[in-house]
Amino acid sequence: MSQKKALIVDDSTVTRLMIRKIILDKFPNWEILEANSADNAKSVLVDHPNIDFFSLDQNMPGDISGLDLAEELRNKYKKTKIVLVTANIQDAIKNRALSIGIDFVEKPVSPEKILPHLD
């Protein structure tokens, strides 16, 4: 079986490190890629197109939100798990995530919130 890859997209270094640790504690062989914005994530995907799991923040620098990026990703990665991990808990955000077909996780991150989305 080939090695799985996760892309963590969040402008918070601390959040990226926490999600990285949660994933690697359970799946030490996964390759973890990181981006601090949606634009940076798109650049990462040029060199790493095969991703098995996306973790996206909603509010990041630049013109593209996590949900906007999720819509783009959903078109290309139809069966890949995409999770919006955000402190923005407005119903409109949750409902849009649901309509795109991605999961919603409220910050702060914890193993209990992230691990169910990896199995």
**Helix residue spans in 1-119 (DSSP H):** 13-26, 38-47, 66-76, 91-100, 111-114
Specify the CATH number of the domain 5-88: 3.40.50.2300
Instruction: List, for residues 88-109, the tens digit of each pLDDT value.
Output: 999 999 999 999 999 999 999 9
**Domains of the chain: which residue ranges?**
5-88
What single letter denotes the amino acid at residue 30? W
pTM over 0.85: yes
Whether the Cβ atoms of residue 4 and residue 52 lie closer than 8 Å to each other: yes
pLDDT digits (tens, 9 = 90+) for 40-61: 999 999 999 999 999 999 999 9
> What sign results for the dihedral spanned by CA atoms 112, 117, 118, 119?
positive
